[in-house]
Amino acid sequence: MGLWKDIKNLFVGMRITSKHLGRRAITIQYPEEKWTMPERSRGIVVLLSDKETGELNCTACMLCMKACPTGAIRIVAPRDEATKKRDLKSFDLDFGLCCFCGLCEEACNFSALKMAAKYEFSTINKDDLTWDVKKLQEIGRDVDYVDTRKKKAEPKPAVKPAVTDTPVATAPAPAAQSEQKGETS
């Protein structure tokens, strides 16, 4: 009984192989040929910078750290007593723990994190998988993104009323309407 089942499975496998025999190969020669990742694929997490000033978009709100299911993101950002804002001291991301789920990108309200479509960051040493803020920002410099942060509105210049030489004439009320109002009152 088992022998006939094995022979049947052998022919099923040979049939599938023969279907793909005449098609072109999908294998690439890796070091020489690079695979272009699809646009919506999840790669590595990078920190984004402002396009004009080059400053980090991160406000140290720690939403990404709270959203991370594996605890791969560690942020140290003490609150400044004078301004009551957080000052980003360190932002470390451990890619050994990261599950590349994209929850940190979804939690970020300030366009500070993005999953970049890059994939060549293998290493032998485990300690090289923890990246600091400088390396994350460096990798994210050439990543295109849509800035969804709310910019501070510039004050609009005061509009001066236009000065005209001709006097403005008001239209007189029609006589028929004023007579009807007088009769009903």
Percentage of the chain surpassing pLDDT 70? Answer: 80
Helix (H), strand (E) at residue 45: strand 44-47
159/144 Cα distance (integer angstroms): 38
Res. 185 pLDDT band, cuts 50 70 90: very low
pLDDT of 89-135, one tens digit each? 999 999 999 999 999 999 998 889 999 888 888 899 999 999 999 99
Res. 156 pLDDT band, cuts 50 70 90: low
**Which tokens is 117 given?**
């479509």
Res. 174 pLDDT band, cuts 50 70 90: low
pTM: 0.64
Over residues 64-78, the mean pLDDT reads 96
Q: How do beta strands 90-94 and 44-47 pair?
A: unpaired
CATH number of 42-144: 3.30.70.3270
